[in-house]
Amino acid sequence: MAILGSKLGKILITLAVIVLLLMGGVGYTAWYYLKREVPVVYDSPEEHFKYGSINSGGLPYWIWVVLPSLFPEHLPGPGGYTSVGYIWEPGKENPVGISKSTIGFEKQGVTCAMCHSATYRKSPEDTPTLVLGAPAQKFDTQANIRFLSACGKDPRFTADYILPAIEEKHHLSWIEKQLYSRLLIPQTQKALMGLGQGFAWMNSRPDAGPGRIPSFNPVKFLNFGLPLDDTIDNVDDPPLWNEKQHKGFAYHWDGLETNITEVAIMGALAAGTKPDNVPLEDLRRVEDFIREVQPPAYPFEVNQELVAKGKPIFENNCATCHAFGGDRTGTVIPVEEVGTDRHRIDMWTQAAVDKYEELGDGYEWDFTHVQKTDGYVAVSLDGIWLRAPYLHNGSVPYLTDLLEVPENRTPVFYRSYDVYNPEKVGFVSEGPEAAKEGFKYDTAAEANSNQGHLYGTTLPTEDKQALVEYLKTL
């Protein structure tokens, strides 16, 4: 112990202190740039729904920001991220459906609003009206995935190409530059290449196009590691309004879940949230919001006389399956009975149910209401005017079409144009403008069939008109 009091001892102690300080410094720096969490809280439920993080992971924010200007040729058209269908509110830093949060470095993430918000215009000159909770009709998940994975595969995805573009937008300190060039840019490239490989199965099936996504195959193949199969699961994004009145309904098009809290957790996990990082409180806020938020009223005039005539027609032909309180509303109607395309049902398997049931083991949350069904849910029709195109696969562009036999429904149309057609009740889905902006939907393609749901198709023309007028008011 004598050495401690000696000169050598003092030097050794000083050195040890310096090493410890340095280690502490390195530890602190690593924590600061990789793990430090800076909470972003949106007090307003609407802002939280649009921009609040659900811990979905995502890319380093500044890399995500500069990709469209660096790799515009990989986007479907001009306009940066709006070309894959993001809605961008004037003056906002990010599009609806994107969060920005800091976990060490700034990260971009996905929010529920990405697929559950839409715009409409009453005429081509109209300013778009944003409606939260509406089924997205422009956002194209596949185009977004294809853009990001093409960037990852591009040989120019290097620090030399990307850093200067970031620095034009945002000052990076020396340490941050090191972090980006040595860690974040190479890791992001790897992740984006992995994204392309993970979703390669998508390319051998018909495209979903805007407003639709491959629904649970990504979960089956990527989250659960179940073997690839050849099922097609392209579905329309559904609305999230007025959920308090949907209590007791089965959720998802085929009713594979019956508990809304579990559905919200499913949404987050599908959006990229890791099981050990599910933000229950943030999701509860989303759930509270979608319980209350109401669909907007039909924005054109309605003929009240016709509405009054249409109400009993609805009650006699539709209410058992579609009115609140109807005997079968919110329940699964066997596919043989409703007769619509069955691909979506065949995608969902008992093996996937079992995987969900195991997933929550050891966590505060759990899945105990997942099921395999053989039909589609008869949903309530609140806000139905804004939910076009109709049916689970979005195969019928107008309400007036749905009341015609399948042979007389529009066989080929364009999805994503947000100008409304009050005559046919749905978005303008034909003509040069719709064709220019839209995605060509061919009902002859596999899983795109517009067959079935023959209810109301044999009504006299005047009754159909009155019924449609009534449906506008729901």
Q: Which residues bind ligand HEC (CB under 6 A)?
A: 54, 110, 112, 114-116, 141, 213, 215-216, 235, 237-238, 240, 251-253, 260, 263-264, 267-268, 271, 283, 286, 317-318, 320-322, 328, 333, 338, 340, 376, 378-379, 381, 384, 387, 390-392, 402, 453, 455-456
Shorter beta-carbon distance to ligand HEC: residue 6 or 368? 368
Whole-angstrom CA distances from 468 to 117, 219, 294, 308, 388 are: 24, 37, 20, 11, 13
Report the residue number, 263 or 434, with the smaller CB distance to ligand HEC.
263
Q: What span, in angstroms and rounded, lies between the C-alpha atoms of 257 and 162?
A: 43
**Least distance to ligand HEC from the beta carbon of 160, Å?**
33
* Contact assessment for residue 237 and residue 264, using Cβ atoms and an 8 Å cutoff: no
Q: For ligand HEC, which is the closer residue by CB, 68 or 133?
A: 133
For residue 109, give both structure tokens: 């993430």
- C-beta closer to ligand HEC: residue 370 or 391: 391
* The pair of three-digit structure tokens given for residue 365, joined into one six-digit string: 């949350």
Task: Work out how close the CB of 400 gets to ligand HEC at its nearest, in angstroms, rounded to a whole number.
Answer: 11
Alpha helices in 89-153 (DSSP H): 141-153
Report in angstroms how near the CB of residue 391 gets to ligand HEC at its nearest: 4
**Min separation Cβ 4 and ligand HEC, Å:** 59
Q: CA-CA distance, 405 to 451, in Å (whole number)?
A: 8
Q: Which is nearer to ligand HEC, 134 or 379 (CB)?
A: 379
Q: In angstroms, rounded to a whole number, what is the distance separating the alpha carbons of residues 74 and 157?
A: 13
Which residue matches tokens 């200007």?
69
Question: Taking the complex as a whole, how short is the minimal distance between the CB of residue 175 and ligand HEC, in angstroms?
Answer: 33
Nearest approach, Cβ of residue 290 and ligand HEC (Å): 7
Cβ count near 247 (within 10 Å): 9
Instruction: Give Cα separations from 444 to 393, 406, 407, 448 (angstroms).
Output: 13, 12, 12, 6
**Strand spans (E) along 412-455:** 412-415, 420-421, 426-427, 439-442
**Which residue's CB is nearer to ligand HEC, number 392 or number 409?**
392
The answer for 425, left when phi > 0, alpha when psi is -120 to 50, beta otherwise, is left
The first and second tokens of residue 208, run together, are: 């979903």
Q: Report, in Å, the least distance between residue 432 CB and ligand HEC.
A: 26
Cβ-based nearer residue to ligand HEC, 99 or 184: 99
